[in-house]
């Protein structure tokens, strides 16, 4: 339980913090419409489009979540010199997110994920991207500038989507700069791109990512009580060796968050019951809120509670979404004490 004043104090600190997000930048496009017939050309629905929306995706959505919570944010990563890249930069600037560390590379396309939604249901997703082998890393001079810039931030997030933007040559010098400065760092990993790090503050894999990165068979659900699951314990030990995190948060969907502070016993934080419309970007909300809370002075458990509740807010919305401070405060009402 957390005292209401404590929750308010932590959330109030968010606006005074500046966070850098490094990772795979994407543009999310949504086409909204309705369906009233099946196509005569194939057994698929015909969607009559009524509106379109473009918004930051991938690592850019992590930045959008941080900005929505009140923090000052800059993003770093590579995008193409194309119309989608321009749309992404425009959407980031509209949110007040700094883009000075974004590279435009004419040799790569901006990653675009388009979702067609009808009657609040996603019909299909269409992706535009090149293979992950395409380089999205920094030049030596660009990396040196970014390493120097890290010292001006209060927190650093690596948002990895396995698209080539989060590689060890980028992570190691930035992580070293953050460690010297004493700012918290966080990694949201991808199960097809497992990195060996040393000394990250926070790692937030989901169930599948935790097992695959640990070298174990993929699992998307834990039957029974996660606290007594031997496979999850084995994955935890392997990830502690792989990343040496101060705090490991394995998100388990409807089962909640499996919380493992370094040197302490695991704890399960249950998910707050609510209607789920769309899980898109829920992991982005967890890492952004939790890292921001740690930067504000929260304990490990407080950061996990805030991150878990913020994710509960966004899955109740349609499309890639964020959680505002007042929504987070309301969602935390069940974790408040009378103190």
Alpha carbons 107 and 99: distance in angstroms, whole number: 19
Q: Does some domain include residue 223?
A: yes
Could you read off the pLDDT of 242-288 as tens digits, one per residue? 999 999 999 998 888 999 999 999 999 987 645 544 455 678 999 99
The pTM is what?
0.91
CATH number at residue 287: 3.40.1190.20
Total number of domains constituting the chain: 1
Instruction: Quote the domain boundaries for residue 99.
Output: 2-34+47-337
Handedness of CA 55, 59, 65, 67 (dihedral sign): negative
Report whether 266 contacts 249 (CB < 8 A). Answer: no
Percent composition of the chain: helix, strand, coil (DSSP 3-state, to 5): 35, 30, 35
Alpha carbons 245 and 263: distance in angstroms, whole number: 10
Strand partners, 268: 258
Write down the pLDDT at residue 339.
46
Alpha carbons 84 and 181: distance in angstroms, whole number: 35
Which entry of 24, 74, 160, 284 is annotated as an active-site residue?
284
Write down the pLDDT at residue 61.
94
Q: Does some domain include residue 232?
A: yes
Q: Does some domain include residue 40?
A: no
Q: Show Cβ contacts of residue 92 under 8 Å, excluding neighbours closer than 6 positions.
A: 56, 60, 63, 64, 75, 99, 102
Q: Does some domain include residue 173?
A: yes
Q: Does some domain include residue 39?
A: no
Report whether 285 contacts 307 (CB < 8 A). Answer: yes
State how beta strands 202-203 and 257-261 pair: unpaired
Question: Active site includes 36?
Answer: no
Give the H or E element holding residue 146.
helix 140-150
pLDDT tens for each residue of the chain, 339 residues long? 788 999 999 999 999 999 999 999 999 999 999 999 999 999 999 999 999 999 999 999 999 999 999 999 999 999 999 999 999 999 999 999 999 999 999 888 999 999 999 988 889 999 998 765 555 667 888 899 999 999 999 999 999 998 888 989 999 999 999 999 999 999 999 987 788 888 899 999 999 999 999 999 999 999 999 999 999 999 999 999 999 999 999 999 888 899 999 999 999 998 764 554 445 567 899 999 999 999 999 999 999 999 999 988 887 665 566 889 999 998 887 666 544
Q: Does some domain include residue 83?
A: yes
């Amino acid at each position: 339980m957390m005292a209401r004043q404590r929750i308010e104090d932590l959330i109030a600190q968010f606006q005074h913090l500046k966070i850098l997000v490094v990772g795979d930048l994407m543009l999310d496009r949504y086409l909204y419409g309705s369906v009233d017939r099946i196509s005569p050309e194939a057994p698929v629905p015909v969607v009559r489009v009524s509106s379109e929306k473009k918004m930051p995706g991938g690592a850019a959505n992590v930045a959008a979540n941080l900005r929505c919570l009140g923090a000052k944010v800059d993003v770093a990563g590579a995008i193409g010199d194309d119309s989608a890249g321009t749309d992404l930069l425009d959407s980031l600037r509209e949110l007040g997110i700094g883009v000075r560390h974004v590279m435009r590379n004419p040799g790569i396309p901006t990653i675009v994920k388009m979702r067609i939604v009808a009657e609040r249901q996603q019909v299909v997703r269409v992706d535009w991207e090149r293979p992950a082998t395409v380089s999205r890393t920094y030049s030596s001079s660009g990396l040196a500038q970014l390493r120097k810039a890290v010292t001006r931030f209060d927190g650093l997030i690596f948002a990895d989507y396995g698209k080539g933007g989060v590689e060890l040559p980028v992570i190691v010098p930035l992580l070293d700069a953050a460690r010297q400065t004493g700012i918290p760092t966080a990694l949201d990993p991808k199960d097809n791109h497992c990195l060996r790090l040393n000394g990250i503050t926070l790692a937030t894999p989901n169930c599948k990512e935790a097992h695959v990165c640990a070298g174990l068979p993929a699992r998307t659900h834990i039957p029974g009580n996660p606290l007594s699951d031997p496979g999850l314990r084995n994955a935890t030990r392997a990830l502690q060796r792989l990343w040496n995190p101060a705090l490991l948060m394995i998100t388990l969907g409807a089962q909640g968050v499996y919380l493992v502070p370094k040197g302490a016993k695991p704890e399960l934080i249950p998910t707050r019951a609510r209607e789920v419309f769309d899980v898109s970007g829920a992991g982005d909300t967890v890492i952004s809120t939790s890292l921001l809370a740690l930067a504000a002075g929260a304990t490990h458990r407080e950061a996990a509670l805030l991150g878990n509740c913020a994710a509960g807010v966004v899955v109740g919305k349609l499309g890639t979404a964020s959680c505002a401070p007042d929504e987070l405060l309301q969602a935390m009402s069940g974790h408040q004490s009378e103190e």
